Every structure is written in C-alpha cells, then in structure tokens.
Amino acid sequence: MSFNNKVVIVTGSSTGIGAVTAVAFAKEGAKVVIVGRNEANLNDVAKQCSAVGSAPLVIKADVTKDEDAKRIINDTIQKFGQLDVLVNNAGIFEYGDILSGKILETYDRIIAINLRAVIHLTQLAAPHLVKTKGNIVNISSGASLLYGPPATLAYCVSKAALDHFTKGSALELAPSGVRVNAVSPGPVETDMLTRHSVQMNAPIDQVKVFSPLKRVSQSEEIADLVLFVAGNKAKGITGSVYLADNGFTLQ
C-alpha cells in the first residue's frame, strides 16, 4: 500500500478523520497536502505528518470559497507538479427540520460544503488526475441511507447526493483512467460525533448500544479503508460506496 511519490490532497484535515487520514498517507510515503480553516490545528497535523513522513504542504482554505478551491489545486501543482489522489473529506453536520422553519438555511450551509465544494474540487482536480490516472475518495456517511431523525434530513440529503455524484463522476471519468469512490462511515469518535451526542443528549456509550457491533469507529479504521480504496490494490474499483458503520444502517 505504498504511496511513495504520490501527491495526495486531504480536505478537512485539521481534525478528525481527515487529520488521521493525512498522517496515514504521510506514513505510506505520500506527499500530502492538508487543508482546513483552523491554522493552529493544521500546524499540529503538519507536525504529526512530518514525524512519520515528509513535511506536508499546508493550505489554509475554506472549500466553499471558489477562489480558495482554485488555490488548493493550483498551489498543489505548483509545489509538487502533479496530483494523484483527492480525498474530499471536509464536511459539516447541522440540525434543522421543516417545522422549525430552519431546514432551508441548514440545507444551504451543509450543501455548500458536503456537496458543492466536492463538485467544484472534482472539476478543478480532474485534468490533473487524468494525467496521473489518479483517483478520488469522497467521505460520505451511512446517513445517506437514512431519512432522519427529522432534524438531520439536510445532512442525509447531502450525503445521498454525494453518493450519486460519486457514481456519476466515476462513470464520466472512467474512460480517462480516473477512479472515483466513496467511504461511508457510521459514527466515528471525532469532534463531530461529540458535538452531535451532546446536542442529542446521547452520550457516546449510548450510541454504541444502538450499533449491532456495540461500538463506534475510530478515525484510523476509516483511514485504513480510504488508503485501500485509493491504492493500486483497488485498481478495478470505481463508483463504489463502502460502508464502515459497525452495522448501524442494517437496522
């Protein structure tokens, strides 16, 4: 699973799944580009990458801003000369249901990051990925298979649309030798899950009880799957959405 000399962008890599994924790629020899808005967190992750591999390119950027998205791709090419893997991980989770009158504003914020930014970065990255026969891994969610709880509907819709985009972009880019897949976690112990469990008044131990395997995932498990899908062993895999949810969506 070596990524020696491969150039890998991981968006939303200042914390959580993205941070651990960036470090895992660095450990496998990749030249990593880490992206997020929080500079202090990015610098912390940069140190972790440097400790196991080469120093990453740090790009402070908001993926929803079109100029920032262009800068992410342009700075990567300027620094490393190529792009092999794009991991679209940056994402948010917010509440807002129909009857509270909050669903539209929630939807607009969520879609801007979880879907529109992915589409924009895919468009910007594609010409470079065609040159390297590279690939894209989108971080979706098991929520793409759910319809609620009602206040989470906008998030579910964003991830369902992301799965659809994953398959459609895989179909368009396959003749150019570019693969596109998604990894769909269930609950993973990150800041996002902590915020969610506080808001839902459901401690993480309670979330575990609801999962058939009676556990939540750690970011490392998701990173392992991302590296497999992005690597050469998965050369025949495109348009696939891999659940890693401890059986959560079976019930």
Residues that bind ligand NDP (CB under 6 A): 11-18, 36-38, 41, 62-64, 89-93, 113, 139, 141, 185, 187-188, 190-193
* Least spacing, CB of residue 163 vs ligand NDP, in Å: 12
Extract the tokens encoding 245: 């949810």
* Residue whose C-alpha is closest to residue 84's, from 30, 15, 43: 30
* Residues 182/133, Cβ–Cβ less than 8 Å: no
- Return the number of the residue (80 or 248) whose C-beta is nearest ligand NDP: 248
Decide if 147 is catalytic: no
- Return the number of the residue (126 or 193) whose C-beta is nearest ligand NDP: 193
Whole-number Å distance between alpha carbons of 240 and 100: 36
* Residues 141/152, Cβ–Cβ less than 8 Å: no
**Active site residue: 95, 107, 147, 155, which one?**
155
- Return the number of the residue (107 or 133) whose C-beta is nearest ligand NDP: 107
* Residues 177/130, Cβ–Cβ less than 8 Å: yes
* Least spacing, CB of residue 54 vs ligand NDP, in Å: 21
* Residues 245/188, Cβ–Cβ less than 8 Å: no
* Least spacing, CB of residue 175 vs ligand NDP, in Å: 28
* Residue whose C-alpha is closest to residue 35's, from 158, 117, 142, 152: 117
- Return the number of the residue (217 or 238) whose C-beta is nearest ligand NDP: 217
* Least spacing, CB of residue 87 vs ligand NDP, in Å: 10
Give the catalytic positions in this structure.
155
